[in-house]
Amino acid sequence: MPESQLLAVAVIGVLVITLTIALVGAIGFKLLRSWRELGTDAERATYTTLHSASLAGKHLRNGLEPVGAAKASKHLRSLLGCEAVAITDVAGVLAWDGIGEAHREGALGLAAKVLATGRTQVFREAVVHQAELKEAVVAPIRARSRIVGALVAYAPRAKPGLVRATSEVADWVAAQVELAELESSRTLLMEAEVRALRAQISPHFIYNSLNAIASFITTDPAKARDLVLEFADFTRYSFRRHGDFTTVAEELRCIEHYLKLERARFGDRLLVSLTIAPEVLSTVIPFLSLQPLVENAVRHGLEDKEGIGHIAITAQAAGAFVEVTIEDDGVGIEPEHLRAVLAGHSDSDHVGLRNVDARLRQVYGDDHGLVVDTAPGAGTLITMRVPKSQPRPDLGSLTDRLSA
Amino acid sequence: MNAGVGYAAIIGVFAVTALIGFYGLRISRTTEDFYVASRTVRPWWNASAIGGEYLSAASFLGVAGLILISGADALWFPIGYTAGYLMLLLFVAAPLRRSGAYTIPDFTEARLESPAARRITSLLVVLVGWLYIVPQLQGAALTIRIATGLPPWVGSVAVAVVVCITVVTGGMRSITFVQAFQFWLKLTAIAVPIVFVLIVMANSGLTVPAVAEPFAAEPVGSPTAGAYRNISLVIALLFGTLGLPHVLVRFYTNPDGPSARRTTLIVLGLLSVFYLFPTLYGVVGRAFMPDLATSGSPDALVLLLPGRLIPGLAGDALTALVIAGAFAAFLSTTSGLVVSVAGVISQDMLGGRVRGFRLAAVFSSLVPLGVALLTDTTQLAGSVGLVFAFTASTICPLLLLGIWWRGLTDAGAIAGMLAGAILCGGSIMLSRALGAEAGPMGDLLAQPAAWSVPAAFAVMIGVSLMTKNRRPAGITTIMTRLHAPERPVPAPNR
């Protein structure tokens, strides 16, 4: 029906127009306000310089690499007020901004001397047949006493001011590069911390399992044999060296081995129910992130409880996340005590719980720690939420693990 | 038509859908047995679920209606709707699964390492989702008017509200079961009545007056579709399927690349079987109910045909079945879209919290509802076809080039998506605004896919070539991940 389509078009048109007016109004208001609050000329010059510097700094956050250098060189040129700027590392020209990009490769020749001597130099015949680029100032970029590159500024005449400015800007770039190195070592440190945090199989469990197996060897050799095999499977999974991630399905298999061993001690006192939405089975989660939670439920929830204990494990999709819950009807934990445990103040028990919590926060951020609902005598409900999407390159090892 | 039958069918579908949504997982999957609990979704299940999510109002009602109006030309719709999965199978299914990405924006960010490209993709995905929901709600409006005689808006509001409530309260946690059920309900609902209709026709000596004739006849009440229109439509449907957000998230359920491919193959089979039936409705409708084509609601053909040809209680029962199937179509497609759109909104704009997801779900049901109430459509299949044209011009180039070409850069992707969106969206709007005044350009504007898809590809490739230095650093790792098989060589035993 054309009328109603016309109506739709009209509605959309009005919406677009309203949005545009609002946008223009907002920008105008902002500009007006900032104009009023501008300071003196000298202050404005300082602001502009700082602004260019902060813009350039953002792009140097990954160190000296072509993409960032290209973006940063634009701002560096406006900072220096020269005709063209080139940034080189020790092997080649990373970026050129300004006129005469044809002479790009020439910059490395100029930089080579500076890279060798480590002193700022002025070249009077930098580019012979282009007057705007006739002279060049080359300053070394020195990060932690090592020369990592050079900054080349071209101008028709290299005045002393430009020489000074170029070497100052080169030093500033060097500081940014050092920051970038600091950042990357921080990442390395975080990775090392994740490795160190990787859950460990608990000595108690080994001791208890071996004892349980020992008790069956004479009475029920077949069962003892099964248990030894379970133990072997469990330890093989837990001791594996490569990969920090696994899938929900693999982790469930590990829990199965674990519970079979625990059942040898608990007998019929331990009941488990599972509700696993099949969609989430292939979701990638940190290695040994569920088994310690089940172990926590068994050791701290059900061990001290009289009679039959239940553990319910559920895993379901919740939007773009997977929500896993592990609930037991055991003795529960004193909330104050739990808070101390999770904050790392108490090094007594619940090591697994704290470890998993810390790793989840490391990997997914502080919003994704464990959520624990508990009270003395009321059981414990642990909820874990991880994003479904994990296109991380370091998961590549997951695939060869599956086939192993 | 007996309104009581309509009410019963609609309420029945609502209730069963909600029950399966809430309790399906608990009943079928609560066990003490780890083996049962860790069984992955079989390709058959997943394929049914994809079919359930995919077969929308356009397929259930729209295709038959279009055949009624324009005859053989309308057959391009079911062909295109199905063949899109062939493209999906060949080019996207397995690599996308291997990427580990859950949504299309996730994929964009992983491949292009650019938050800006991610944001643009999110916006487009949300837009596509909303545009796709609108015809579903319009189909519901039509169906409720015919089934119960209530004012049409009741249907749209009911579907939007029911979907909103089930999604917000967590009723879609095990969406595979719900959607797989919906597929088989839809197939039954569309197949059984037409089989009965054919039997009745055979018994009473009625025949479709030579099957070829209705197809050859001049289309009733709509201009002849030229070759350009058909080509453009097929391009839109073929490439558009590649970018549908609610279909692509379903591939995440497959455990690995090969099972993603097997699933797609089964989907192809299931859809081919399904589309046989709307076609039959269309042919029989052309013979016995040509009046509908001119009366303004040809999309109602599937709903009215069984009652018209089979009188009495049997007719009422069959009509109830068709109504139930139609509502299954609205509910499943809408809820699938709301879940995936709300996922994208909550992740990219609201920080990924549970409350954010609920808020986003409410928002994603209400916005399309508003649009559906303000607008009206004469052709469900046609308006869904335009959404396909839009995804084909925006998200499809991103996925295809992102998966198969190392050279794609974030700048290229953004430029291409924006160009596709502006060209395709603008020309559709323009053609709506101009209507019949568009003249010779009318076809070009009304079905832009044939030129807007190549244009989007060209812009994406061109800008990428101009910004070679922006290729992501980790491109080799990502490409290896997308294309290397999951299990290359068995690792040596330790």
Give pLDDT, residue A398.
39
Q: Which of B26, B109, B474 sits opposite A275 (nearest CB)?
A: B26
| Span between the terminal Cα atoms of chain A, in Å | 63
Q: Measure Cα distances from B91 to A123, B5, B256 in Å.
A: 55, 45, 15
Q: Domain check: are A150 and A218 in the same one?
A: no
Alpha carbon distance A165, A43 (integer Å): 18
Cβ–Cβ of B432/A9 closer than 8 Å?
yes
Alpha carbon distance B87, B93 (integer Å): 9
Chain A residues within an 8 Å CB radius of B99: 391
The angle subtended at Cα A305 by Cα A300 and Cα A310, nearest 5°, is: 80
Q: Which of A4, A281, A391 sits opposite B110 (nearest CB)?
A: A391
- DSSP run (H or E) holding B456: helix B449-466
Cβ–Cβ of A391/B109 closer than 8 Å?
yes
Q: Which of A387, A316, A284, A274 lies closest to B173 in space, CA to CA?
A: A316
* Confidence at A48, pLDDT banded by 50, 70, 90: confident
Alpha carbon distance B306, B301 (integer Å): 9
Give pLDDT, residue A160.
87
- Is residue A137 predicted with pLDDT exceeding 70? yes
Residue with tokens 């409410």: B362
Mean pLDDT for B327-355 is: 86
Distance from CA of A268 to the nearest CA of B (A): 13
Best interface-test mutation with B: which of A4, A62, A259, A276 has the largest number of B CBs within 10 A? A276
Q: Which of B176, B354, B371 sits opposite A318 (nearest CB)?
A: B354
- Tokens found for residue A209: 């399992």
Q: Which of A256, A277, A367 sits opposite B29 (nearest CB)?
A: A277
Answer whether B176 touches A (CB < 8 Å).
yes
Q: Domain check: are A257 and A163 in the same one?
A: no
- Tokens found for residue A356: 């998993």
Ranked by mean pLDDT, the top range of B313-327, B345-359, B424-438 is: B313-327
Q: Which of A235, A208, A239, A212 lies closest to A223 in space, CA to CA?
A: A212
Q: Domain check: are A182 and A203 in the same one?
A: no
Cβ contact A57:A176 at 8 Å = yes
* Confidence at A287, pLDDT banded by 50, 70, 90: confident
* Confidence at B245, pLDDT banded by 50, 70, 90: confident
Cβ–Cβ of B469/A275 closer than 8 Å?
no
Domain boundary among A153, A188, A223: A188
Q: Is residue A389 part of a domain?
A: yes
The string of pLDDT tens digits covering residues A298-341 is 888 888 888 888 999 999 888 778 899 999 998 888 888 888 88
The string of pLDDT tens digits covering residues B39-92 is 777 889 889 999 998 998 888 888 888 888 887 788 888 998 898 888 888 888
Alpha carbon distance B320, A151 (integer Å): 78
* Confidence at B118, pLDDT banded by 50, 70, 90: very high
Q: B 156-175 residues with CB below 8 A of A?
A: 170, 172-175
**In chain B, where are the structural domains located?**
3-29+41-380
Question: Number of CB pairs < 8 Å for A and B?
Answer: 167
Answer whether B486 touches A (CB < 8 Å).
yes
Q: Domain check: are A84 and A229 in the same one?
A: no
Residue with tokens 């602004």: A51
Q: Domain check: are A234 and A314 in the same one?
A: yes
Q: Domain check: are A183 and A226 in the same one?
A: no
* Confidence at A367, pLDDT banded by 50, 70, 90: confident
Give the mean pLDDT of chain A. 82
Best interface-test mutation with A: which of B375, B428, B479 has the largest number of A CBs within 10 A? B375
Q: Which of B174, B473, B491 sits opposite A404 (nearest CB)?
A: B491
Alpha carbon distance B345, B358 (integer Å): 10
List the single range of A105-119, A237-251, B181-195 with lowest mean pLDDT.
A237-251
Q: Is residue A234 part of a domain?
A: yes
Cβ contact B394:B124 at 8 Å = yes
Cβ contact A376:A320 at 8 Å = no
- Is residue A2 predicted with pLDDT exceeding 90? no
Residue with tokens 């038509």: B1
Question: Any idea what the CATH number is for the domain that residue A318 is in?
Answer: 3.30.565.10
Q: Which of A279, A321, A400 sits opposite B174 (nearest CB)?
A: A279
Residue type at B434? L
What percent of chain B lies above the pLDDT cut of 70?
Answer: 91
| Domain span including residue A61 | 42-188
Q: Domain check: are A156 and A261 in the same one?
A: no
Ranked by mean pLDDT, the top range of A195-204, A205-214, B210-219, B412-421 is: B412-421
* Confidence at A182, pLDDT banded by 50, 70, 90: confident
Residue with tokens 């001049």: B218
* Confidence at B489, pLDDT banded by 50, 70, 90: very low
Give pLDDT, residue A402.
38
Question: Looking at per-residue confidence, does A232 or B201 come out higher?
Answer: A232
Chain A residues within an 8 Å CB radius of B34: 252-253, 255-256, 274
Give pLDDT, residue B125.
93
Chain A residues within an 8 Å CB radius of B481: 391, 393, 396
> What one-character DSSP code corresponds to residue B36?
H
Q: Is residue A8 part of a domain?
A: no
Q: Is residue A2 part of a domain?
A: no
Q: Domain check: are A66 and A181 in the same one?
A: yes
Cβ-defined contacts of B114-120 (< 8 Å, 24+): B114/B410, B114/B413, B114/B414, B114/B472, B116/B410, B116/B414, B117/B410, B117/B413, B117/B414, B118/B348, B119/B348, B120/B413, B120/B414, B120/B417, B120/B418
Cβ–Cβ of A278/B39 closer than 8 Å?
yes
- Tokens found for residue B386: 């335009």
Distance from CA of B8 to the nearest CA of A (A): 31
Chain B residues within an 8 Å CB radius of A2: 435
Q: Which of B41, B253, B491 sits opposite A403 (nearest CB)?
A: B491
Integer-rounded Cα radius of gyration of chain B: 23
Cβ contact A293:A360 at 8 Å = no
Mean pLDDT for B214-236 is: 68
The string of pLDDT tens digits covering residues A268-281 is 888 889 888 888 88
Best interface-test mutation with B: which of A64, A97, A184, A279 has the largest number of B CBs within 10 A? A279
Q: Measure Cα distances from A353 to A209, A357, A378, B110, B488 in Å.
A: 21, 6, 18, 31, 36
Q: Above 0.90 for ipTM, yes or no?
A: no
Domain boundary among A139, A164, A188: A188
Domain boundary among A157, A188, A219: A188
Give the mean pLDDT of chain B. 84
Alpha carbon distance B28, B31 (integer Å): 8
Q: Which of B102, B342, B429 sits opposite A388 (nearest CB)?
A: B102
The string of pLDDT tens digits covering residues B369-395 is 998 888 876 677 778 888 999 999 999
Q: Is residue A14 part of a domain?
A: no
- Is residue A401 predicted with pLDDT exceeding 60? no
Residue A249: closest C-alpha in chain B: B38
Mean pLDDT for B116-125 is: 93
Q: Domain check: are A178 and A245 in the same one?
A: no
pTM above 0.95, yes or no: no
Q: Measure Cα distances from B322 to A215, B191, B491 in Å.
A: 65, 9, 54
> What would be the CATH architecture of the domain defined by B3-29+41-380?
Up-down Bundle (1.20)
- Tokens found for residue A352: 């697994």
Residue A276: closest C-alpha in chain B: B37
Could you tell me if residue A267 is left (phi over 0), alpha (psi between -120 and 50 degrees) or otherwise beta? Answer: left
* Confidence at A104, pLDDT banded by 50, 70, 90: confident
Question: Looking at per-residue confidence, does B37 or A65 come out higher?
Answer: A65
Q: Is residue A316 part of a domain?
A: yes
- Is residue B222 predicted with pLDDT exceeding 50? no
Answer whether B437 touches A (CB < 8 Å).
no
Q: Please state, as a whole number, how many other Cβ atoms lie within 10 Å of the Cβ of residue B234.
A: 18
In sequence order, the 6+-apart residues with CB closer than 8 A to the CB of A249 are: A281, A282, B38, B40, B255
List the single range of A319-328, A373-382, B281-290, B291-300 with lowest mean pLDDT.
B291-300
Question: Any idea what the CATH number is for the domain that residue A106 is in?
Answer: 3.30.450.40
Q: Domain check: are A209 and A319 in the same one?
A: yes
Give pLDDT, residue A400.
37
Q: Is residue A193 part of a domain?
A: no
Q: Domain check: are A121 and A148 in the same one?
A: yes
- Is residue A135 predicted with pLDDT exceeding 60? yes
Cβ–Cβ of A392/B106 closer than 8 Å?
no
Give the total number of structural domains in chain A: 2
Cβ–Cβ of B481/A396 closer than 8 Å?
yes
Residue A62: closest C-alpha in chain B: B473
Q: Is residue A6 part of a domain?
A: no
Q: Domain check: are A206 and A337 in the same one?
A: yes
Question: Could you tell me where the DSSP H helices lie in B62-114?
Answer: 63-70, 76-87, 93-99, 104-112
